[in-house]
Structure formats: C-alpha cells, structure tokens
Amino acid sequence: MSASTITLFQENYGTTPEQMAFAPGRIEFIGNHTDYNGGLVMGAAVTEGITLAVRRREDQQLRFISDGLEGVAADLENLTPLSGSASWVNYPLGVIKILRECGMSMSVGCDIAITSTLPTGAGMSSSAAFELSTAYALAALYGFKSDSAGFAGICRQAENEFVGMPCGILDQGVSAFGKKNSLVSINCASEVYRTQAMPEGTHFWIFDSNEKHALVDSAYADRHRECHQALAVLQKALPDAKTLSDLTCEQVKAHAADLGDLLTRRALHITGENARVRSVEAALEQGDLPGVGAALYASHKSSRVNFENSTAALDALVAALAQQPAVYGARLTGGGFGGAVMAFTRADFDADAAAMVAAAYQAQCSREATVIHTQAGEGAHLL
C-alpha cells in the first residue's frame, strides 16, 4: 500500500517523500447522528484507509495528487475552498488552514500524494481518513505537536468550517483513536474516548449499496437543523437540557404535541440511539451478542421510521442480512441517505453467505453491492 503511494509521489514530483502517514476509515457501530447532538456513539477504525506522502517545497505552492485524479495546485498564502473537480483538495486545504491557526508554522509549501483503499462516499468516512493522514504527516513535517484528541478536533473543524459539512466528532475521533480488534466509544458531550475489545470470533462485513444520493450533504444539514429545532422547542419546557442527549424518550414523547410529528420522530431517534448505545455497552460486557444484534436492528428501524435517513436499497440489504443465521445484527452505517450497511457477524458468516445477500439485493434493487470483509484496525499514525 505505502509502496504504491511512494511510486505515485515519485512519478509526479520526481523525488521521494519526507514523511508518510496512514489514517483509517471507520464503521459507525451504533449511535447514529448522536455526535453533533452531544450523545454517545460507538465505532471502530477499519484496516482500510488513506496513505499520504509529503515533501516540503522551496516556494509557497501546495500541490496535490490522488491516484486516478488530476493534480491540483493551490497557494499557501491564499487558502480558500475550491469548487468543481478540484474540490477534493478542500479536505487537506482545510486541515492546513486550521493547523496554521493552531500555531503550526509553514514558511514553505509542500507536495502531497495520496492513495486509498476505502470506497469514497460510502459512509466509511474517507473524508476523515484524508484529514487525519494530512494532519499527522504535516505535523511531523513542520514540527507541530498535538495528541489524538487534538488532531481529531482540528480535522473536524476543517470539515465543518472549510468543507462546510456540519459533522460531529465521530468520524475524526474514531480515525484518530482506533485500536486493533477494538471498538471506540465516544461521549461527545465530554469528548471522552474509551476503547473496548471486540468479542472473540465476531466480524464486520460492509455492504456498499453503491447508491450515491445526489443531495447527501444538504439532507445531512437538514437533519442537523431539525435536531436543533426540536431542542429549541423542548428547552421551553425543559430549560436545563443543553442538547437532545440530556433528554429521555419519555420526555420527548411527553412534549410530542408541541414538537409535531416530524420533530418528535427526529428527537426520538437521538434519545433512542443514546439508550441503544448504553444497552450495547451492557450487552457486550455480558457477552450477550444476540442482545447487541437486536439493538443494531432497532437502530436501523429508527433510521427508517424516525430519522428517515435510510433508503430502499439500505433497507433491502438489512432485510437480506436478517435472513442469515450467522448475522447478529445489521444497520446502515454513517450518515445514511445511501452509502453502506454494516453487519456484525459470527465467524461462520462467509463469502458464500455474503454472495447470497448480494444476490438478494441485486434481485430487488437491480444494483450490485460491493462487499468488504473488514476488521477493527489501528488509528492514524506515521509510517
């Protein structure tokens, strides 16, 4: 993987990189859209990710190349978001801007090359992998110090402010804190991170629906806004609530008349997800894997009914997985509105079983699913 990144770097810049970093994508295990609502979420870094190579230049230019894409150049002293086919460099440009605001001194620009083993826009957070690999490699190159939580925060700020995506800390937090064979729990209100071993003999399978929703970003922003509207209504009666995650499902239901149907369902998704994260943590401690699976299915149902961030394609994949005896549970993973489904399985869920799920999906939705059998891997690090 890193050999091909070095080759890409050499072919484009005619020299060798000075620093290299890897950052993983992630699975959202459970806790959907809770991160920007001050709630609880569990994820896992995957073994797939982005490898980034970098070398200082002698002028003020920034140059970017990604396998299969046309190169882009920018000026270090004029960092503004780019549009159109060059907009993929907004992730590293944003990270560079925030790193400098945090005190990283860059007297010269750099050449950057990346390769990826992640599907793009599938809900496995290639964007956070891109941001974290940029932050780790550049911090090492220009001599800037931070820790995992610091880098996660810088990268989230870059995505929020420079890319314009109002995401919470899940993607960057899990990419930074991931650990081999472990789940990462985040309390997004206190930003406390905890890792917990995956139960022996359990596996992750990802089924990318290959459905790209044209309006994912605006749909995500709509849900972000609806959650804040629901909170504002609830705060009139419950002024101590700082976020939706300070409330229970019962409190939301008690104010359903003030909220109206739509905002009630949006709020119930968040309060329900927080309760399900707690129930999964307890079930994992007791080794109750069917209990974990039931919470995963319940989470997907709440996405479908309450939050309306599922799609017919994602529902078809979850329904096909539910037919398989070796699957504990399955749900959409990530923001939704297209993207991928995650299945939490026993060891005897195999390629044949995955092919049956993909065939059922193809028959129902006339589209091929991309299947990835993955494991929980290490968080961002220098190579």
Of 71, 81, 121, 166, the residue at the interface with ligand ADP (CB under 6 A) is 121
Answer for which of 116, 133, 134, 148 binds ligand ADP (CB under 6 A) is 116
Which residues in the 128-147 window bind ligand ADP by CB under 6 A?
Answer: 130
Label residue 269 left, alpha or beta by phi (over 0 means left) and psi (-120 to 50 means alpha). alpha
Taking CB atoms, the residue at the shortest distance from Mg ion is: 127
With binding defined as CB under 6 A, does residue 81 bind ligand ADP? no
* Residue 146 in the binding site for Mg ion (CB under 5 A): no
Which one of the spans 6-14, 119-127, 150-158, 174-182 is the region binding ligand ADP (CB under 6 A)?
119-127
Left, alpha or beta for 334 (phi > 0: left; psi -120 to 50: alpha)?
left
- If the CB atoms of residues 34 and 125 are measured against ligand ADP, the closer one turns out to be 125
The alpha carbon of residue 186 and the mean position of all alpha carbons in its chain are separated, in whole angstroms, by 13
Partner in contact with 329, chosen from ligand ADP, Mg ion, none, beta carbon below 5 to 8 Å by kind: none
Paired residues of 73 in beta bridges: 63
Q: Which of 126, 195, 209, 374 forms a contact with ligand ADP (CB under 6 A)?
A: 126
Window of 127-135, 148-156, 177-185, 219-227 that interacts with Mg ion by CB under 5 A: 127-135
Q: Which residues on adjacent β-strands are paired with residue 196?
A: 183
Q: Is 127 in the site for ligand ADP (CB under 6 A)?
A: yes
Length in residues, the chain: 383
**Does 125 contact ligand ADP by CB under 6 A?**
yes
List, as one string, the DSSP characters of 123-151: SS-HHHHHHHHHHHHHHHHHT----HHHH
* CB neighbourhood size of 267 (10 A): 29
Window 11 to 50, contacts with ligand ADP (CB under 6 A): none
Structure letter (DSSP) for residue 199: P
Q: What is the DSSP letter of 376?
A: B
Q: In a 10 Å sphere around its CB, with 0-12 CB exposed, 13-18 middle and 19+ buried, how is residue 233 labelled?
A: middle
Q: Which is nearer to ligand ADP, 116 or 243 (CB)?
A: 116
Would you say 28 or 111 has its CB closer to Mg ion?
28
Contact 275, 253 (CB under 8 A): no
Rounded Cα distance between 260 and 264, Å, is 6
Closest CA to 273 of 186, 201, 353: 186
Q: Which is nearer to ligand ADP, 54 or 124 (CB)?
A: 124
- Work out how close the CB of 268 gets to ligand ADP at its nearest, in angstroms, rounded to a whole number: 25
Which of 171, 208, 246, 315 does the annotation list as catalytic? 171
Which range, of 41-49, 116-124, 179-187, 189-197, touches ligand ADP by CB under 6 A?
A: 116-124
Please give the single-letter amino acid code of residue 201. G
123 lies in the binding site for ligand ADP (CB under 6 A):
yes
Contact between 88 and ligand ADP by CB under 6 A: the answer reads: yes
171 is catalytic: yes
73 part of the interface to ligand ADP, by CB under 6 A: no
Asked whether 136 and 23 are in contact (CB, 8 A), the reply is yes
Which is nearer to ligand ADP, 25 or 39 (by Cβ)? 25
Q: Please name every residue paired with 373 in a beta bridge, in sequence order, or none if there are none.
A: 205
Nearer to ligand ADP, 116 or 311 (CB): 116
Q: Going residue by residue from 295 to 334, which x/- string records binding to ligand ADP, judged by CB under 6 A?
A: ---------------------------------------x
Residue 113 near residue 53 (C-beta atoms within 8 A): yes
Q: Using CB under 6 A, which of the segments 2-10, 113-121, 262-270, 370-378 binds ligand ADP?
A: 113-121
Residue 330 in contact with residue 344, Cβ under 8 Å? yes
127 binds Mg ion (CB under 5 A): yes
Name 144's Cβ contacts closer than 8 Å, sequence gap at least 6. Answer: 99, 102, 103, 104, 105, 138
- Point out which residues bind ligand ADP (CB under 6 A): 66, 69, 88, 91, 114, 116, 120-127, 130, 334
Residues marked active site are found at 171
